[in-house]
């Protein structure tokens, strides 16, 4: 009996030892596999050379997984959709006829840009480019929203005029009074501040420098950093750091010590969404899909054909902030239909199926596109946009990129007299692309492509196609495609003795203009607190001069997606 017990215990011990040995072999095999996999990742399949060799050579981020979601954004998975209005247009505009489009995946602001978000931009601009200095005065003043948009000849709105932008009570309300140009400049600023923070986090920039060391001559620009990292912050090596990871100290190779495109950490630029992106994101047909088919086009960003909630907990409540009728902007006191009289705080209503708030109502929103009465889907049905103007970095006489400084900064005077900085110190000066980039190309042939295929030639004001004088005649404003007003703004000498200058505005008083459409007219989408429910349809489109602001147009930013279309595996049903 004792012999049997000893045998049993021996077998038990042997079993434990065997399990441990097997476990060790599995772990060892796992490490070996990982080592082989890692080794394979760091060996070129083209040359067999090592990638990321500590001694130098080609460096590349092989550990990149996916694009980081930037602050404030949510992912909108791209796809196909019917852009435009399917039902009859009761307004008879016929500027949104349906056409099939495909939108690439992108990111979009969860909410409209708020007063608080825009105030951060103003605070930074005021600190870095003090308006007390004559050189920088127009940079800050050019960024200020027009608070006078609230005034009405027969209405008392001075409370909003004096408080809406800056008072904490309105901090989470969407910013208004911002024209299209200012919205685009805000997006550029936001790009640089976010990437500045990323570089600080990753050890490529001294901590705290973005606040303590920044001034008009020491600023950060993403594009300038990528082109010439050592020139950022005025070339201050103590701020813009070199980072050598896994590199031998004896290596003389000094390349790849700054963050580059190949590092994968710098984010693409914030920008205004295209009209196609905005409409696709607003409609959120993904919530109305079965298998690979859409079950009809949605009338609003939410399900159903009504503006009131049908759910048990909020039945009868309005689903967006809009004007219900003449003299009715919010409903009866004590039981308000939409909870607001003017704009409402962002996230006051439920998001759509992409997780985006206020894609109908609250404020209408600027998009990238130059307005035209048609969307030319015959020319392009992928990431459609009209308004491309291609530029390139300006190269100086010394063969290096030319940076904007306080001495060569350029300003644009808008048609309404507002002065806005075209670029800022630290940016790379831009020039139009030329024949070097366009020669023998089929996809674009000039810098400014706004008017590409802009209607047939027989319908243009200048239809003498092929004549010898055609090129010269097109330069004449009388032969423009669209006969929109031309407001002239310039400076004249007010005092011949002191040579003091003043701004002179010449409004176009012609009574022969036939259109308000021009190359500086932009699309804005969505209904607002001032609009009836008709404008809440994502397919609706309107236009406004790009340098004009209002009390009902705001904006939100977007960012392109790089890499795979989605983070999620394909699925049969949503």
Q: Identify which has the larger pLDDT, 114 or 405.
A: 114
Contacts of 56 (CB under 8 A, 6+ apart): 247, 248, 251, 252, 253, 255
State yes or no: pLDDT of 469 exceeds 70.
no
In whole angstroms, what is the distance from residue 232 CA to residue 214 CA?
11
What are the structure tokens assigned to 540, written together?
A: 């609706």
In whole angstroms, what is the distance from residue 174 CA to residue 556 CA?
9
In whole angstroms, what is the distance from residue 336 CA to residue 258 CA?
56
What are the structure tokens assigned to 359, written together?
A: 């894609």
State yes or no: pLDDT of 296 exceeds 70.
no
Return the minimum-mean-pLDDT range out of 228-242, 402-416, 422-436, 455-469: 455-469
Give the pLDDT band (50/70/90) at residue 180.
very high
Out of 268-272, 328-332, 395-399, 533-537, give the one with best mean pLDDT: 268-272
Share of residues in the chain with pLDDT > 70 (%):
82
Q: Identify which has the larger pLDDT, 26 or 490.
A: 490
Average pLDDT over residues 520-531: 96
**Which of 257, 246, 282 has the alpha carbon at shortest distance from 108?**
282
Give the pLDDT band (50/70/90) at residue 245.
low
DSSP state of 495: -
pLDDT of residue 350: 93
Contact status, residue 135 vs residue 217, Cβ threshold 8 Å: no
With H, G, I as helix, E, B as strand and everything else as coil, classify residue 537: coil
Q: What angle do CA 550, 556, 560 make, to 5 degrees?
A: 145
- Write down the H helix ranges in 474-528: none
Helices (H) then strands (E): counts for the chain: 10, 20
Out of 61-70, 115-124, 285-294, give the one with best mean pLDDT: 115-124
State yes or no: pLDDT of 167 exceeds 90.
yes
Beta bridge partners of 524: 366, 542
pLDDT of residue 306: 84
In whole angstroms, what is the distance from residue 442 CA to residue 26 CA?
57
Residue written as tokens 């205004």? 272
Contacts of 160 (CB under 8 A, 6+ apart): 150, 342, 551
Residue 129 vs residues 139, 235, 426: alpha-carbon distances, Å: 7, 19, 12
Contact status, residue 66 vs residue 564, Cβ threshold 8 Å: yes
State yes or no: pLDDT of 332 exceeds 90.
no
Contact status, residue 75 vs residue 105, Cβ threshold 8 Å: yes
- Write down the H helix ranges in 46-114: none
Residue 121 host element (H or E): helix 115-128
Strands 331-332 and 335-336: antiparallel
Question: Is the Cα torsion angle 90, 96, 99, 100 positive or negative in sign?
Answer: negative
DSSP state of 557: -
3-state helix, strand, coil in the chain (%, to 5): 25, 15, 60
Looking at every residue in the chain, the average pLDDT score rounds to 85
Give the pLDDT band (50/70/90) at residue 254.
very low
In whole angstroms, what is the distance from residue 223 CA to residue 426 CA?
10
With H, G, I as helix, E, B as strand and everything else as coil, classify residue 524: strand
Contact status, residue 358 vs residue 111, Cβ threshold 8 Å: yes
Give the pLDDT band (50/70/90) at residue 234.
confident
pLDDT of residue 470: 44
Radius of gyration of the chain (CA): 29
Contacts of 123 (CB under 8 A, 6+ apart): none
Altogether, the residues listed in the chain come to a count of 574
Burial class (CB in 10 A: 0-12, 13-18, 19+), 132: exposed
**Which of 370, 367, 366, 427 has the alpha carbon at shortest distance from 145?**
366
């Amino acid at each position: 009996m004792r012999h049997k017990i000893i045998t049993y215990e021996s077998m038990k011990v042997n079993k434990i030892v065997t399990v441990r040995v097997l476990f060790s072999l599995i772990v060892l095999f796992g490490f070996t596999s990982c080592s082989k996999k890692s080794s394979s990742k760091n060996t070129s399949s083209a040359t067999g050379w090592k990638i990321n060799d500590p001694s130098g050579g080609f460096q590349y981020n092989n550990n990149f997984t996916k694009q980081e979601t930037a602050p404030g954004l949510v992912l909108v998975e791209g796809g196909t959709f019917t852009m435009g209005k399917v039902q009859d247009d009761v307004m008879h505009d016929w500027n949104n006829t349906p056409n099939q489009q495909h939108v690439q995946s992108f990111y979009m602001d969860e909410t409209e840009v708020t007063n608080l978000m825009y105030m951060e931009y103003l605070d930074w601009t005021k600190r870095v480019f003090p308006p007390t200095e004559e050189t920088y005065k127009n940079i800050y003043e050019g960024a200020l929203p027009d608070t006078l948009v609230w005034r009405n000849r027969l209405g008392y709105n001075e409370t909003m005029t004096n408080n809406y932008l800056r008072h904490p009570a309105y901090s989470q309300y969407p910013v208004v009074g911002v024209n299209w140009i200012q919205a685009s400049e805000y997006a550029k600023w936001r790009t640089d501040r976010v990437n500045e923070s990323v570089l600080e986090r990753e050890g490529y920039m001294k901590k705290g420098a973005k606040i303590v060391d920044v001034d008009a001559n020491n600023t950060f620009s993403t594009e300038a950093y990528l082109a010439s990292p050592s020139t950022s912050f005025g070339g201050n090596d103590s701020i813009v750091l070199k980072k050598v990871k896994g590199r031998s100290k004896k290596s003389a190779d000094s390349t790849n010590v700054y963050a580059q495109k190949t590092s994968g950490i710098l984010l693409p630029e914030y920008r205004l969404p295209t009209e196609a992106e905005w409409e696709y994101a607003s409609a959120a047909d993904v919530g109305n899909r079965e298998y690979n088919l859409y079950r009809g086009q949605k009338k609003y960003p939410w399900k159903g054909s009504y503006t009131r909630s049908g759910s048990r907990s909020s039945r009868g409540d309005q689903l967006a902030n809009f004007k219900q009728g003449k003299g009715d902007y919010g409903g009866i006191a004590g039981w308000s239909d939409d909870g607001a009289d003017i704009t409402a705080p962002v996230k006051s209503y439920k998001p759509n199926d992409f997780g985006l708030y206020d894609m109908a109502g609250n404020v209408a929103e600027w998009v990238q596109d130059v307005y035209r009465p048609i969307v030319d889907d015959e020319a392009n049905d992928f990431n459609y946009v009209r308004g491309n103007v291609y530029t390139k970095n300006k190269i100086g006489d010394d063969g290096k990129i030319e940076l904007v400084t306080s001495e060569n900064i350029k300003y644009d005077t808008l048609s309404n007299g507002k002065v806005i900085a075209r670029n800022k110190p630290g940016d790379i000066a831009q020039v139009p692309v030329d024949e070097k980039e366009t020669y023998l190309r089929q996809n674009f042939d000039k810098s400014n492509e706004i008017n590409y295929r802009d209607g047939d030639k027989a319908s243009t004001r200048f239809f003498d196609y092929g004549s010898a004088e055609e090129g010269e005649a097109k330069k004449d404003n009388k032969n423009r495609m669209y006969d929109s007003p031309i407001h002239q703004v310039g400076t004249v000498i007010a005092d011949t003795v002191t040579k003091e200058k003043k701004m002179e505005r010449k409004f176009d008083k012609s009574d022969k203009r036939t259109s308000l459409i021009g190359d500086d007219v932009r699309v804005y989408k969505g209904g607002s607190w001032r609009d009836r429910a008709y404008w809440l349809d994502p397919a609706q489109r309107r236009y406004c001069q790009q340098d004009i602001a209002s009390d009902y147009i705001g904006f939100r930013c977007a960012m392109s997606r790089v890499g795979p279309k989605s983070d999620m595996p394909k699925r049969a049903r949503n």
